[in-house]
Amino acid sequence: MAHQPAIHRGWLRSGTAAVGAAVVSLLASTVAVSPAQSAADVSCPEAFRVAAVTKGMPVHGLTVTSGTTPDTFDGSVLGVLNDGIAPGLDMIMVKLSGSEITDADGEVDKGIWAGMSGSPVYTANGRLLGAVAYGLSWSPSDVAGVTPAAEMRKMLSTQSGAASLKTAAAAKNVAIPPATASRLVADGALTTTEASGSFQRLPMPFSVSGLSNKHLQMAAERFGIQRPMVTGGSTSAAAAPTEIIPGGNLAASLSYGDITDAGIGTATAVCGGEVLAFGHPMLWSGRSTLSMHGADAIYIQKDAVFGSFKVANPTAPVGRISSDHLAGIHGVMNEFPQSVEVTSLVDATNGNSRHGKTVITYKPAVPFLSAIHLLSNADRVLDKIGGGRATVRWTFHGTRADGSSWAFTRYDRFASGRDISYSSIFESYSQMSQILHNRFEKVKITNVHYRATYSPVYRALEMVKFEIKPAGRWITINRHYPVRTVRAGSDLPVRVTVLPRSGIGDPTVVRMSVRVPASSQGREGVLYVSGGGEQFRTRASSFDELLTNLAKAPRNSEVAANIYFDTTGANARDSASRDVGEVVSGYKHVHLFVR
């Protein structure tokens, strides 16, 4: 069960690298090499058949508790749960010791900790039994569930795939059959509490660098991100790489740089330029575009309530994750996925300034990861969570369905009395999502750039009065909103008064007019006035028109008036807006009858 660093998360229950000759030496000393097995096979040993597994057979394995060099652990087989992971995919139950799983006296210490996912388990003759991938529901425990190596090897390019690699009906919780549980309790292999539980492949916890836990959780909730995320370490292409070896740390990332969004587990086998890891899915996406990294483990945090877990920093990318299946993930060395580069230049009135960069390889997450990239850099430069105001410009470049390029640029002002860095990221996210999910053609984003300035001084305006002039005199629209009569084909003057939200300062009167369509005679309509783009809903008949409309949408510093009439099934409308130089809020409307 691959893992990310976390603090007291109930779902953390699952579970590189020395270099060159040191790797071969370590593996040779811990994995017995059969006469038929060459030195080149040590990193990619033959799979041991599940049908040949017997109770009590000795096993040993590799995993990292600190740094990049694997430790050894020992154990024995408890039994096999038939179809325990999925139909046609058994689970091998093992009891392990050493490598901080147990202490010097053989008592459970940190148990099967999160981050052990993928740790290779070998038989006495050096064959690969499988990968540690499951732990008991209650922890710490020294009992693990192992994904069979034969199933993992089917992900290699030289092997044919199996249906169970793509099975979507596999259980995340695997109950121990009563007869098996009773036997294991009688033998002393499990306690009664452990036997009453189940093996569990819990949701993959991801670490995300660059944000405070408060802002990370706020953003995840606002953007509807369901997978667990916790704050963690970062990496970049400029960082030193670590070699991927069996039993060594392995990270698979959606992005790296300022925002490193990654899951960290363990490599199971390295077969030439191919890597097998985790023993269970990460995103369960089938085909994958994640980047592959080593990692440097800091330590294993013991947690007697929710389960111990590994704390680690990913290192530089060394390849790509090409597939993500039930039996684990498959990576390819020295090949790298296509990516989206997100950059930002953020200044603050306190004198701080910073260039930021994030590389995103998981395309569905580009809007979310781009938005929190800006949030991260803004937090770093503003150096506080609190009120203020900001000006942000965003530029997107991409390609269209026919391969031609497109570009989009817009700026807007933002103000918040509570959290300006957080409040400033949502408009660009919304516009990027509308572009990517447009109904006209499939488009891609290739790079994103933000240019932003933040001030900790909060200043904003609010609408306090709304007037119209339908027949030569101004009428104030109050909360009762009576229907007002206007003339078809005429210009309707509109007047809006705004005041500083602080209550200190002079009022500003904003004047504009909207056209009452001649075709609306005898019909009813509505006139809306609002601050900024609160009521803006774009309509477009092509991708080009969508880009134009999004770029021209009312800004947060504009007072906008929009008039709508239902005319024979079509919306006749007119609009006007005026920029008042500061973010303005408020919303009012009046019903109209056209004569």
Which sign does the torsion angle of CA 179, 180, 182, 186 carry? positive
Per-residue pLDDT in tens (0 to 9) along the chain, 595 residues: 444 333 222 222 333 332 222 222 223 333 333 333 444 468 999 999 999 999 999 999 999 999 999 999 999 999 999 999 999 999 999 999 999 999 999 999 999 988 999 999 999 999 999 999 998 766 688 999 999 999 999 999 865 444 344 443 344 555 555 655 565 566 665 566 555 555 555 334 568 888 888 998 898 888 887 766 667 777 877 788 999 999 999 999 999 999 999 999 999 999 999 999 999 999 999 999 999 999 999 999 888 877 788 889 999 999 999 999 999 999 999 999 999 999 999 999 999 999 999 999 999 999 999 999 999 999 999 999 999 999 999 999 999 999 999 999 999 999 999 999 999 999 999 999 999 999 999 999 999 999 999 999 999 999 999 999 998 999 999 876 678 999 999 999 999 999 999 888 899 999 999 999 888 888 899 999 998 765 456 789 999 999 999 999 889 999 999 898 865 544 558 889 999 999 999 999 999 999 9
Instruction: Write b or e for each residue in 405-425: b if 16 or more Cβ atoms lie within 10 A of its Cβ, otherwise e.
Output: ebebebebbbbbeebbbbbbb
Spell out the SS3 assignment of 60-111: EEEECCCECCCEEEEEEEEEEEEEEEECCEEEEEEEEECCCCECCCCCECCC
pLDDT at residue 11, as a whole number: 25
- Name every residue whose Cβ is closer than 8 Å to that of residue 333 and which is 6 or more positions away in sequence: 244, 273, 274, 275, 292, 318, 319
Residue recorded with tokens 């069996």: 246
Could you tell me how far CA 62 lies from the centroid of its own chain? 29
CATH for 21-200? 2.40.10.10
According to the model, what pLDDT value does residue 7 have? 27
- Where does CATH 2.40.10.10 sit in the chain? 21-200
